[in-house]
Amino acid sequence: MQSFPMFIRTTGREVVIVGGGEQAAQKARLALKTDACIRVVADELDPELAGLASKGRVEQVRGEVSPEVFRDSALVFVATGCPGADVAFHGLAKAAGALVNVVDRPELCDATTPSIVDRDPVVVAIGTEGTAPVLGRLIKTQIETLLHPRLGALSALAGRLRYAVQKSVPRDARRAFWAWVFKDEPGLLFRQGEEDTAIRLVKAAIKRGGAPTDAGKGHIALVGAGPGAKDLLTLRAVERLQEADIIFYDRLVDPAVLELARRDAERVFVGKEVGASFWPQEKICSLIVREAKKGRRVVRLKSGDPSIFGRAAEELRSAARAGVPTEVVPGVTAALAAAATTGTTLTERGATDTLVLATGRCRPGDAHPDWAHHMRPGTTLAIYMGVQSAASVAQSLGAHGLSSSSHVVVCADVSMEGEKRVETSIADLPCALARAGISERAIIFVSIPKSAARRRAA
C-alpha cells in the first residue's frame, strides 16, 4: 500500500476548505457528515455554501490568509479551481503542519477522500489510491446493497447500551449476547422497522443477565429472487442471502443470484420440472420447517415475487403451525420487469386503468382459470406460466368475443441475456410460441384499451 487507511477524529476540531465554488461545496457536503467545525476560506461563496454560512453550519473566512488559518486543523481541503492558487494555499497549509488534500492534484495530497458507505456510526471507506475512482464507486454500490439502511441505528443502540451490558451480563456471556442482538431476533426486528420492540427485547435481556435461553431460534424468509437478473434483487433480499445458513431454491432461480449468498451457506435445489413431482410441495414445507427448528436461518428463494403464484401460502401455514417465525421479502415480478425491459407500461391514463395478474397453470384436476372474464375495455391481462395453456387461452379469449386478430405480446426469459419478445395475434398465439422456441418461463400480455368500448358503442 502507498497509503495507510485510517480514520481521522473530528470531534472538537476544524476542517478547513479553501474555495467558494462547486468543488468546495462538494467537500463541504462530505465534511458536514462529521461533527467537525467547518471553516470555508473564500471572499465569495456559491449559493449552497452561502446558505450554509447563513445558517451557521460553516464559518466563512475572508481576506488575507496566513498559515495560522490552518493550524491545528484535522484536515484541509484546497479546492479553488485555480492551479496557481491551489499550490499557494497548499504551501500555507503545509507551513502550519496541516494534513492537506488538493482536489485533482494527487501529487499535492497527504490524504485522499475515499468512496464512503455511510451507516453512521458504521462507516466503510473504499480507496484505490487515486488509480481508479470509478472502480471505487462501483465497489461502493456493491457494498451499499449488503449493508441494511438501519444498520447504523442498531450499532448506535449497541454503543448506548454497552455500559449496561458490561454491568449486568457476565463477561463470558457477552459475545453470545451481542451475536444474538445483531444476528437474531433484535436485529431482524430492527431491519423490519420495529425498532421499539427490538429495544425492549434487548433491555429485557440485559436485565435478565444475558441472551434468552432460546437464542438462535430458527427463522424462515421467503425471498423473491426477481425475474432473473441478479441486479434486480432488493437490498433486503441480498441481506437475507448473506445471513442464511441454508437456501432452498427453485429451478428458475438464476445461478448468479446464488453467488450473492455467503460462501458457507448450504444450497438445496428444490425445483420442480413441469409435470414432475420430485419435490412435492409437502416435502418442501416439511424440509424448511425442520431446518428452521434446528435454529438455522432458512431462505426459501423463489423466482419473481413469493406472493404471486409462488405457493408461499402453503409454506407460511406450515411454519405457523410449527411456531417458526417467518418473513416475506418481495421481489420484482415478471410483469413489471417485462414492461421495463420492453419500454412499455402496464397501465396508461385514459387507455388502461386495470391490471390483472392471472396464472395459466392450476392444480392437477382443476379447471382452467376464466381468463376471458377479466377482459373488459381498459384492462391489461398478464398471464403467468401460460405457454402450455396457450391454445386454451386463445380459445377462451376468442369465445369471449375478442377479435382473433387482437394484439398479444409474449416476453420470455425476462431480464436475462437470452430474453425474447414475440408479438402476435390471439389466433396465432400457440404457433407463434412454437416458432420462437418458447416453451416456458414466459408471460403473456393481452390489452383492451378503453377506446374499444367506445367503438363498440358506436
State how far the Cα of 423 lies from the Cα of 100, in Å rounded to an integer. Answer: 61
Span 14-29, mean pLDDT? 95
140, 183, 217, 272: the active-site residue: 272
Q: Above pLDDT 90, what percent of the chain?
A: 57
For 273, the grid coordinates are 420440472
Task: Label residue 167 by pLDDT band (50, 70, 90).
Answer: very high
Buried b (16+ CB within 10 A) or exposed e, 215-234: bbbbbbbbbbbbbbbbebbb
Task: Label residue 133 by pLDDT band (50, 70, 90).
Answer: confident
Q: Is 272 a catalytic residue?
A: yes
Give tens-digit pLDDT for 7-16.
999 999 999 9
Judged by DSSP in three states, 269 sits in strand
Count of beta carbons in the 10 Å neighbourhood of residue 363: 5
**CA 78, 81, 87 angle in degrees (round to 5)?**
55
The mean pLDDT of the chain is 89
Torsion angles phi and psi, residue 221, rounded to 5: -115, 120
Residue 215 has a pLDDT of: 62
Buried b (16+ CB within 10 A) or exposed e, 67-77: eebbeebbbbb
For 419, the grid coordinates are 430474453
Residue 272 has a pLDDT of: 63
State how far the Cα of 408 lies from the Cα of 100, in Å rounded to an integer. Answer: 63
Which stretches does DSSP call E strand in 53-154? Answer: 59-61, 75-78, 100-102, 115-119, 122-126
Higher pLDDT pick, 355 / 362: 355
Residue 458 has a pLDDT of: 45
pTM attached to this predicted model: 0.66
Task: Label residue 329 by pLDDT band (50, 70, 90).
Answer: very high
**Which among 362, 388, 395, 367 has a CA at the least distance from the CA of 441?**
388
Peptide bond just before 121 cis, omega within 30 deg: yes
Span 437-453, mean pLDDT? 83
Residue 212 has a pLDDT of: 84
Least confident range from 93-97, 112-116, 337-341, 367-371: namely 367-371
Give tens-digit pLDDT for 170-210.
998 898 899 889 988 898 888 888 899 999 999 999 999 99
Residue 125 has a pLDDT of: 92
**C-alpha count within 13 angstroms, C-beta hemisphere, residue 410:** 29
86, 184, 245, 250: the active-site residue: 250
- Tell me if 304 sits within 8 A of 414, measured CB to CB: no
Residue 210 C-alpha from the chain's centroid: 33
